Amino acid sequence: METGTVKFYDDAKGFGFIIPDGTEEEIFVHHTGLIHEIEAGDRVQFSVKAGKKGPNAVDVTRVA
């Protein structure tokens, strides 16, 4: 599992981006990959899975 910070998440559109710790790379997150609701600035833990257009965050959950 990786950790990072939610850069952007649009609840109405159901997607956003996470920046993993230690990198500037943005990882796409779709609402189907969420365990808990998220919003910009949240600290999260997640797994990375290969997607059609690059890496996708899955099993995303907030961390304290």
CATH number of 2-62: 2.40.50.140
> What's the confidence (pLDDT) of residue 55?
96
Model pTM score: 0.92
Instruction: State residue 17's pLDDT score.
Output: 98
Predicted confidence (pLDDT) per residue in 4-41, tens digit: 999 999 999 999 999 999 999 999 999 999 999 999 99
| Burial class for 23, CB neighbours closer than 10 Å (0-12, 13-18, 19+) | exposed
Summarised one tens digit per residue, pLDDT across range 45-57 is 999 999 999 999 9
Residue ranges per structural domain of the chain: 2-62
Nearest to 29 by CA among 16, 41, 14: 16
Report yes or no: 62 and 44 within 8 Å, Cβ to Cβ.
Answer: yes
